[in-house]
Amino acid sequence: MPLTSSLGISVSSELTQAAGLGTGSVKSNLTGSVSLASGTGAGKADKVYQGRRTLAASASEDLDLAGVLLDAFGSAITFVRVKGLFIKASAGNTNNVVVGAASSNQWATLLNTTGTITLRPGTSLGVVAGAADAIGYAVTASTGDLLKVANSSSGTSVTYDICIIGASA
């Protein structure tokens, strides 16, 4: 199955301040994007996982990127390289969604020093890491193929959307 992907992220801001008889402003726009053709080399991806997932209060799950997740057509996906990752915590959540885990795999180097990042309700994590090159983030079966996602607290469940784009070789 051919796959074409477009990954992007943008930030726009305007800082204003009264200055003399008027108002001064400084605008900034920062964007980054990459389009990936179908395949496994540089500038290419051939696998995608996307889903809306719910975790019970205080629960966590390890998303196994090597042969356990299913694509939209029910086929098992084995990522060898991740080229894009997007996770969004539902605005209706009471608790936070915690992504990653302190470990020695590549997710710890992608995320902060503890290997985790906390998404408050309604916030997103978008990573276009190495997407244009042939490498991306390597997925190594049994030692570096798990992405942990956790509910930060008790009392209520959390829902999050996730999209992972990568290559099978």
DSSP notation for 27-53: EEEEEEEEEEEESSSTTEE-EEEEEEE
Cα–Cα dist 56/80, whole Å? 30
CA-based nearest residue to 147, from 122, 169, 127, 130:
127
Q: In this predicted structure, what is the pLDDT of residue 135? A: 77
Q: In this predicted structure, what is the pLDDT of residue 79? A: 93
Asked whether 121 and 89 are in contact (CB, 8 A), the reply is yes
Q: In this predicted structure, what is the pLDDT of residue 57? A: 97
> Tokens 């490498």, residue?
135
**Residue 82 belongs to what domain range?**
42-167
pTM listed for this prediction: 0.84
34 in any annotated domain: no
9 in any annotated domain: no
22 in any annotated domain: no
102 in any annotated domain: yes
Domain harbouring 70, CATH code = 2.60.120.10
Chain CA centroid to CA 48, Å: 12
Number of domains the chain is built from = 1
95 in any annotated domain: yes
Cα–Cα dist 137/126, whole Å? 14
For 41-55, 75-89, 91-105, 152-166, which range has the lowest pLDDT when averaged over its residues?
A: 91-105
64 in any annotated domain: yes
69 in any annotated domain: yes
Amino acid in the structure at residue 69: L
Cα–Cα dist 25/18, whole Å? 9
Q: How large is the average pLDDT for residues 126-133?
A: 64
8 in any annotated domain: no
